[in-house]
Amino acid sequence: MREGTGGGAPAGEDAYLSLQHLGKRYSDFTAVHDLTLNVPRGELVALLGPSGCGKTTTLRMIAGLASATSGRVIVNGNDITTAPPYRRDMGVVFQSYALFPHMTVAKNVAFGLQMRNVAKPEIERRVQEAIGMVRLGGMEDRRPRALSGGQQQRVALARALVIRPSTLLFDEPLSNLDAKLRDEMRTEIREIQQRLGITAVFVTHDQAEALAMCDKVAVMNAGRLEQLGAPVDLYERPANPFVASFVGRINRLPAVAHGKSAKVGAHELRLTSTLNGEVEVMIRPHRIAIGRTGEMGGFNQVPGVVKRVTYVGDLVQYDVDVDGLTWSVEQPTTAARAPDAPGSRVDLSWRIADTLAFAKRA
């Protein structure tokens, strides 16, 4: 298992935004430990983790709204660690939108350009362009309080984009929106970011969002970087139990390993790597097939008894009892076969390659 892999492109070469050993320490606790992260130009990187993991603090340090107690923030080769926020040329979209309540939509969007002393006719042109880009044409003279949540979010986005920043920073911008709007905005934001080719950092606690939107995902926990990688890498090859259980659903089973196999309860499972001693075996619920199949090569298999069946439309969720432990199994529903009823004896089987195992942390 790889612990806290810092990474991405090697520092200074391809990285547009580089965090080097960045840390934030308060008198009674440390929010961010020694974070090293490199973001290549034009990439959208997610900072993903549970509340309190330090992702927002990290974002605020990048924006200049919080001071780093150690480490450096480098953008395009320039060390901006001590630069104040109004000199960092970043577009920030906040969770609560933070629109200026006393200004119209147009004035909100124009603000950043005014700070940069752009000529008036140019400001008007660019404001119109930005408002058009977020599809809010016609709303220029409205006040924020007359707008819906989704519309306010678009204004916040336009305001950040219009200044053509070198970097875009998003602080959980979609968490106050309802599900359908979130999906829409998610696609729009991604589309705009890619079209303009702006390097961006996106903070979120929603792993589905992170996986769907971003080029790379940095999983954080308790102030440390657990793993940085493309969504598929995080999902298929998690570096540790935290990442494995945070990204996607997973079964966690205590086991004892000896070499290339481990004993879970009364059953032997084959592993993909060599381990010894106490381990945690982790298997994704939908990688497990359920049914009476008999012995299969290349697969691990355990018998169990179905305890509960939950029908969710697209999926059926099973709680299966295996030697006293409850395993979670998910299967897509098919018209061809009715779900196994509670009480039935079943075999659970899955590819050996889908068996993740990690040594138990001290």
Judged by CB under 8 A, which of 55, 159, 216, 224 binds another protein? 159
Site size with another protein, rule: CB under 8 A: 28
Please report how close the Cβ of residue 78 comes to another protein at its closest, in angstroms.
Answer: 16
DSSP sequence for 153-221: HHHHHHHHHTT--SEEEEESTTTTS-HHHHHHHHHHHHHHHHHHT-EEEEEES-HHHHHHH-SEEEEEE
Phi, psi for residue 111 in degrees, rounded to 5: -50, -50
| 63 is a contact residue toward another protein (CB under 8 A) | yes
R_g over Cα of the chain: 24
| 116 is a contact residue toward another protein (CB under 8 A) | yes
Please report how close the Cβ of residue 224 comes to another protein at its closest, in angstroms.
Answer: 20
CA distance 50 to 219: 9
Of 111 and 327, the one with the shorter C-beta distance to another protein is 111
Query: In sequence order, which residues have a C-beta less than 8 Å from that of residue 129 and are 6 or more positions away?
Result: 162
Please report how close the Cβ of residue 219 comes to another protein at its closest, in angstroms.
Answer: 24
Judged by CB under 8 A, which of 10, 12, 85, 342 binds another protein? 85
Of 102 and 180, the one with the shorter C-beta distance to another protein is 102
Which residues are registered as beta bridge partners of 327?
320
| 145 is a contact residue toward another protein (CB under 8 A) | no
**C-beta of residue 123 within 8 angstroms of C-beta of residue 147:** no
| 66 is a contact residue toward another protein (CB under 8 A) | yes
Two tokens, residue 229: 């990688």
**C-beta of residue 242 within 8 angstroms of C-beta of residue 251:** no
CA distance 195 to 91: 16
Give the full edge-to-edge strand order of the sheet including 70-75: 30-40, 15-25, 70-75, 78-79
Residues 185-224 interacting with another protein (rule: CB under 8 A): none
Give the full edge-to-edge strand order of the sheet including 44-48: 90-93, 167-171, 199-204, 44-48, 216-221, 224-229
Please report how close the Cβ of residue 215 comes to another protein at its closest, in angstroms.
Answer: 23
Residues 86-115 interacting with another protein (rule: CB under 8 A): 86-92, 94, 96, 98-102, 111-112, 115
Please report how close the Cβ of residue 130 comes to another protein at its closest, in angstroms.
Answer: 13
Binding piece for another protein, criterion CB under 8 A, among 58-66, 181-189, 218-226, 323-331: 58-66
Judged by CB under 8 A, which of 2, 10, 50, 67 binds another protein? 67
Please report how close the Cβ of residue 165 comes to another protein at its closest, in angstroms.
Answer: 9
Please report how close the Cβ of residue 98 comes to another protein at its closest, in angstroms.
Answer: 4
Q: Which residues bind another protein (CB under 8 A)?
A: 60, 63-67, 84-92, 94, 96, 98-102, 111-112, 115-116, 159, 163
